[in-house]
Structure 1
Amino acid sequence: MAIALLALSACGREAASPGDGKGGDAASPAPAHAPVVTVSADQAVSPVDPWKAPAVEIGDDGVEDARAKADAALASGNLYRDADSAIPLYLALRARAPDDTGVAKALDASVEALVGQGDAALAAIDGEPLKLREAHEVGMVARSVAPEAPAVVAYLDRLDVMDRAQQANRLGETALADGRIGEEGEGGALAKFHEALELHPDDVRARQGLAAAESALIRRAEQAAESNDYAGAAGWLAKAARVRPEQALGTIEHARGRIDALRAARVGDLRDRGVAALSREDGLDEAREHLAELLRIAPKGDPAAVELRERIELATHYGLFRPGQVFTDAMKNGGRGPQMVVIPHGAFTMGAPEGEAGATDAERPTRNIRFERGLAVGRTEVSVAEFRRFMEASAHFEARASRRGYSTAYDERSGNLVRRSGVGPQSDYTGQPADDALPVIHVSASDADAYARWLTEQTGHTYRLASEAEFEYALRAGGTGPYPWGTGTPPAGSGNYTGGRDASPSGRRWRNAFKGYADQAWGPAPVGRYAANAFGLHDMAGNVSEWVADCWHDNYRRAPRDGHAWVNPGCRNRVVRGGAWASSPEQTRSAWRLSVQKDTTNARVGFRVVREI
């Protein structure tokens, strides 16, 4: 909006000092389209020429008529405009009769009325800015007619104050248009408007200027918010609140509400964009960028920031999954894969510490392993039914026991494991046809690897056997004792172990067993019958021992530090982990490991799979 400033000719006794108009924060940007007070031409005072009384001709026979005309003009308020006005007529009458006291009194009354008109004009300036010029015209007339009259001197003082107030307003408006608000109290628009109010407490124009300055500061707050500088926005609002502390509370709160709404919308948008990025496999870095921006603009502890941070943390370690989540993958030939449980990422100490009863050097040295990413582990061992589905779908696959024609099964009469013909993955621990719910046994490490490869091809996701480190981490499930449950006898219902109270079908008892423990099973039990561990996994320490991916090494001295499988191409012996239904208590320890030829099949070893996420 344009500001028209016309020159001011001061009619007061002393010219006003314009001041420099400087102030405000030098670093503050000039707001685009800053709200200003519009100053029209009629609000400024163009030069007012000194007043010269109009010429009045009064003949000898016209004195009475002139006196009557002057009195009538005075009564009507026509004081100085033309030759028919009261003051020019009284001045002409006084010139003819200087000692006429009646004329003198009438002239004094005219001057008094003139000052009254000037005061009326000054009082009307707030509503009618053009009245300032009228007041100046009155001042010129009064100064010309009675410059020493006390009423005139007082009026000219009042006019001078009004002039200085209006000059301050104009300088304030100019500073405001230039973006020099002066919010720091060093000159600028605010100082000028306050100066005007000190001179003229009821100055509407100055109050409008303060409102415009407040609006300009609010606009700066909004611009800062639009640039995501919410700390800056709060600072500008605080400065705006100091401009009119009593009148502007609602305005400031409304502006704060708009900015807060904008902030909340942008925070929400960044949260949504971050979450959307996490739904893509390559979106983690983008989500982190959104989080960084969100944290920059969001209030401390904002729920959206907390949520996105947690989602990114989960995605970093678990991809699209959550710890504890149970899921199955769809398979190309129909149906679903085995149930998998997402175990949490974390760290543990692998191996047996010095002094652990039953431990061997093969379980040492202990080493700290950290998993930076979660892993999906089979909730149970692979069942007979699940392995049968693989064999039926794999026309060219033949299990090792089937090709060889035998496996090692349990003989109830002798109480030993013996070689038995015609036994394979569909057989139970005695060599008889197995129930579908039992864990598959009589499988070699190569059979287990083949099943994992088939799952990978069927689901499009990477399935494999666990590494030794992964298996022990999942078995311990946060525990640090020699056994998964800590020490002593297993808790009731925790697994299928060699219990001192267990008996075979013919009444046999274990010679080396957990005293006082019974699990109501002799041989493998159906998968998932016993309680899950803290990670939601069943039968990690009992039921059947399990093949893992590592080749056998006599100790951990050169083992990988990242928990990956320690594999040597062409190795003959693989590692078996976890106790079984026929394992001694020493073989049920968390750190226990065994070297087994990879083609071995028997009634005590099965497997479970893991899936990378």
Structure 2
Amino acid sequence: MRTGTEGRTDLRASARTLGWTLTLLACACSRAPEPPAAEAPPPGASAATAGGPQVTVRGDERDAVFEVWTPPPVEIAPDADRRALRRQAAAALEQGRLYEDAEAAVPLYLALLRADADDAVARRGLGRARQALLRAGRQALDAVAADADADGVALRRATALAAVARAVAAEDAQVQALQQAVERARRVAELDRAGEEDLRAGRLDGPGEGALGYFREALALAPEDPRARQGLAAVESALIDRAEAAARSVDFEAAGHWLEQAQAVRGDAAGAVADARGRVDAIREGHILALRDAALRDLLQPTGLRQARARLAEALRIAPPGHAVVAQLRERIDLVTHYGVFRPGQVFTDALADGSRGPQMVVVPHGAFRMGAEDSDPQAADAEKPAHYVRFDRGFAMSLTEVTVAEFGRYVAATGARPRATRRGNSIVYDERSGNFVRRSGVDWRSSYDGSPARPNDPVLHVSVHDAEAYAAWLSEQTGRHYRLPSEAEFEYALRAGTRGRYPWGDDPVPPERVGNLTGGEDVSPSGRRWNNAFAGYGDGYWGIAPVGRFAPNAWGLHDLAGNASEWVADCWHASYRRAPADGAPWFNPGCRTRVVRGGSWAGSPAQTRAAWRAPMDSDMTSGRVGFRLVRGI
């Protein structure tokens, strides 16, 4: 028998050709003695071998040649008592001593027939011995098939019995069937041994070798072979072990590969692979949950976002598609990426140093929009073009309403500030008697649109852009957060709130009911005046400024962007949007004197209520139509 890889290859080739080999063996009569003819010891047999039964292997085992039995020599003298020899042979047959020595049944019967070929008693006795050999051979094979032959004794006995039976009656069909069954059992045993050797060495499957291939070939020859079946179960178990080891090493791709290999071994008839999948999934789930928990802890750290993203990437690598925990973690990281600790639409206030609260803020979602007027808008000015896309990679917070008189007054009281109109002693107000806007003395931030005392919850008017920036700086100092005027892009983005139309509400020139404090054809002044240029059929109940928040918010929760007071923004005036920032940042030139005002007002024409409307204004200008609101980074 060859050993090593070459031997296993020869064995597998031999097993594949077993069918035609057995046919050849059944015909290879010239290789074995033909009973009942007289047989002599093989040439060159020594005196020592002549004293016992001899089984000789002829030829190369790769050719699957059967073992040949040489009977021990039995000499019968011419005057010997043959009747006594017949009784001796019959007694040996009865005792089951068939071929083991010169006093066994088969050697005695063969010797009697050599002495007298017509000895009918010996011939019948030899026939009974042949049947006994066949029965014993089949019993030995049954022991092999029942996996009761761990030490190979039964298979060796079956091999010897088949060789003796062949020596007795090589042409007998039952003998030939036994020979073939024995050879098949020997081949199966060799395949089982080779498979077990590879299994111990960890060679489960592979070209030219592998336990799985050997066991499968054994089962192709003997479908009920218990050793091969046990071997397949062991291969399956080893593949499952590899899968679980890979899972513990966080290599779930390899774990899946080994589980697929294990599934293919036996089709998972016993459910072992399904159980293993459950264990691998549990290991995977544990890793995913650990990554989720670690990422959430990272997000609590000021600089933990990058590490949280790395953990998300690892979770995405090992998780199956659509995993709920990973999807939630991705959403959480996206929220932190775009909103910090906030959520879009969240309303909050910051605490001031004295324990009071700042203005209410709402988180505006990140995103992109097309800023400016389209060429199709007949009322568009050149300064509102070209329309261009602006993207906000991070959300921001904007005050729900314009800054109120009360909120601005807190700043003045705390700092002793003297806003521009206070220092100058006048501002522009609406004059009811003339129906025009005029400059009037004694008007400042405490005044309403017409110069009368303002209510605490009115938007603060008569402030310059520098007054608004000074208030934002004070609020930043008080809260520890960065407040500022919105950029033009932020204002228009928030004003549109996800819509795309000529007006903040869309393209319809008729405003929806109670959309804001606009110039409506149904509005009437205290003296009965009406607007010459207004939205026909619209009335909001106010001539002049309205308290903040009296009208419905837009889709993002913001009030009064479309009306009430026009508002300062942070940008310097530019005659068009050519080369304007695409990221929504303020377009600011240090030292510029002309700033931008955005948004319709209680006294703005329909054209000035369009979403893209913008106007230049001197930075020291104060008016009863202009206020401001703030944004804050998040």
Query: What is the identity, as a one-letter code, of the residue corresponding to 1:240?
Result: A
Q: Per-residue CA shift, 1:223-274, capped at 9, x if unaligned? A: 55455555554444444333323x6262333333333444444444445544
Alignment of 1:537-548 (within 5 A): 537-548=558-569
Please report the TM-score for the alignment, with normalisation by the length of structure 2: 0.76
Distance in 2 separating the partners of 1:329 and 1:68: 120
Residue of structure 2 in register with 1:511 after alignment:
532
Deviation at 1:493, TM superposition (A): 0.2
**Counterpart pick for 1:387 among 400, 404, 408:** 408
In structure 2, relative to structure 1, the CA distance for the partners of 1:6 and 1:64 (3 Å cut) is farther
In structure 2, relative to structure 1, the CA distance for the partners of 1:600 and 1:146 (3 Å cut) is closer
Residue of structure 2 in register with 1:160 after alignment:
183
Residue of structure 2 in register with 1:446 after alignment:
466
1:243 alignment partner, SS class: helix
Distance in 1 separating the partners of 2:357 and 2:70: 106
In structure 2, relative to structure 1, the CA distance for the partners of 1:590 and 1:212 (3 Å cut) is same
8 Å Cα contact 1:346-1:370 kept in structure 2: yes
Deviation at 1:351, TM superposition (A): 3.3
Distance in 1 separating the partners of 2:425 and 2:14: 105
Residue of structure 2 in register with 1:176 after alignment:
199
Alignment of 1:66-85 (within 5 A): 75=94, 77=96
Distance in 2 separating the partners of 1:97 and 1:223: 72
Query: What is the identity, as a one-letter code, of the residue corresponding to 1:402?
Result: T
Distance in 2 separating the partners of 1:314 and 1:262: 28
Distance in 2 separating the partners of 1:139 and 1:589: 104
Q: Once structures 1 and 2 are overlaid, which stretch shifts more, 546-555 or 410-419?
A: 410-419
Deviation at 1:340, TM superposition (A): 1.7
- Tell me whether 1:210 sits opposite 2:232 in the alignment: yes
Residue of structure 2 in register with 1:582 after alignment:
603
Distance in 2 separating the partners of 1:304 and 1:358: 51
Query: What is the identity, as a one-letter code, of the residue corresponding to 1:477?
Result: A
Report the number of matched residues.
572
**Counterpart pick for 1:116 among 135, 139, 151:** 135
Distance in 1 separating the partners of 2:379 and 2:135: 117
In structure 2, relative to structure 1, the CA distance for the partners of 1:6 and 1:586 (3 Å cut) is closer
Distance in 2 separating the partners of 1:583 and 1:164: 102
Distance in 2 separating the partners of 1:103 and 1:354: 123
In structure 2, relative to structure 1, the CA distance for the partners of 1:598 and 1:98 (3 Å cut) is same
8 Å Cα contact 1:51-1:140 kept in structure 2: no
Q: Structure 2: any 5+ residue segments left out of the alignment? A: 4-8, 17-66
Alignment of 1:88-487 (within 5 A): 109=128, 112-125=131-144, 126-130=146-150, 132-137=152-157, 139-140=159-160, 143=163, 147-149=167-169, 150=172, 155-182=178-205, 188-226=210-248, 230=252, 233-245=255-267, 248=269, 250-354=271-375, 356-392=377-413, 394-485=414-505, 486-487=507-508
Residue of structure 1 in register with 2:633 after alignment:
612
Distance in 1 separating the partners of 2:165 and 2:525: 136
1:576 alignment partner, SS class: strand
Deviation at 1:139, TM superposition (A): 4.8
Query: What is the identity, as a one-letter code, of the residue corresponding to 1:119?
Result: R
Q: Per-residue CA shift, 1:447-483, capped at 9, x if unaligned? A: 2112211222233222100112221222233444433
Query: What is the identity, as a one-letter code, of the residue corresponding to 1:370?
Result: R
Residue of structure 1 in register with 2:34 after alignment:
none
In structure 2, relative to structure 1, the CA distance for the partners of 1:115 and 1:136 (3 Å cut) is farther
In structure 2, relative to structure 1, the CA distance for the partners of 1:479 and 1:124 (3 Å cut) is closer
In structure 2, relative to structure 1, the CA distance for the partners of 1:138 and 1:91 (3 Å cut) is farther
Distance in 2 separating the partners of 1:376 and 1:280: 21
Deviation at 1:52, TM superposition (A): 8.6
Distance in 2 separating the partners of 1:103 and 1:161: 32
8 Å Cα contact 2:568-2:598 kept in structure 1: yes
Deviation at 1:540, TM superposition (A): 0.8
Distance in 2 separating the partners of 1:510 and 1:144: 127
Query: What is the identity, as a one-letter code, of the residue corresponding to 1:548?
Result: V
State the identity as a percent: 52
Q: Which structure would you say has the larger RCO, counting Cα contacts within 8 Å and 6 or more residues apart?
A: 1
Deviation at 1:352, TM superposition (A): 3.6
Deviation at 1:300, TM superposition (A): 3.5
8 Å Cα contact 1:21-1:175 kept in structure 2: no
8 Å Cα contact 2:239-2:258 kept in structure 1: yes
In structure 2, relative to structure 1, the CA distance for the partners of 1:572 and 1:230 (3 Å cut) is same
Distance in 1 separating the partners of 2:212 and 2:104: 44
Deviation at 1:64, TM superposition (A): 11
8 Å Cα contact 2:15-2:217 kept in structure 1: no
2:401 alignment partner, SS class: coil
- Tell me whether 1:501 sits opposite 2:522 in the alignment: yes
Distance in 2 separating the partners of 1:455 and 1:138: 102
8 Å Cα contact 1:90-1:106 kept in structure 2: no
8 Å Cα contact 1:273-1:287 kept in structure 2: yes
Distance in 1 separating the partners of 2:365 and 2:386: 25
Deviation at 1:170, TM superposition (A): 0.8
Distance in 1 separating the partners of 2:160 and 2:601: 118
Deviation at 1:191, TM superposition (A): 3.1
1:124 alignment partner, SS class: helix
1:18 alignment partner, SS class: helix
> What root-mean-square deviation, in Å, do the aligned CA atoms of Structure 1 and Structure 2 show?
4.2
Distance in 2 separating the partners of 1:135 and 1:587: 105
Residue of structure 2 in register with 1:27 after alignment:
none
In structure 2, relative to structure 1, the CA distance for the partners of 1:208 and 1:487 (3 Å cut) is same
In structure 2, relative to structure 1, the CA distance for the partners of 1:475 and 1:131 (3 Å cut) is closer
8 Å Cα contact 1:409-1:417 kept in structure 2: yes
Distance in 1 separating the partners of 2:563 and 2:463: 17
In structure 2, relative to structure 1, the CA distance for the partners of 1:603 and 1:70 (3 Å cut) is same
In structure 2, relative to structure 1, the CA distance for the partners of 1:87 and 1:320 (3 Å cut) is same
Residue of structure 2 in register with 1:521 after alignment:
542
Q: Per-residue CA shift, 1:205-237, capped at 9, x if unaligned? A: 111112222333334444554555555544444
In structure 2, relative to structure 1, the CA distance for the partners of 1:397 and 1:22 (3 Å cut) is farther
Distance in 1 separating the partners of 2:514 and 2:110: 129
1:389 alignment partner, SS class: helix
Deviation at 1:128, TM superposition (A): 2.0
- Tell me whether 1:593 sits opposite 2:586 in the alignment: no
Residue of structure 2 in register with 1:45 after alignment:
none
Distance in 1 separating the partners of 2:2 and 2:461: 104
Query: What is the identity, as a one-letter code, of the residue corresponding to 2:217?
Result: E
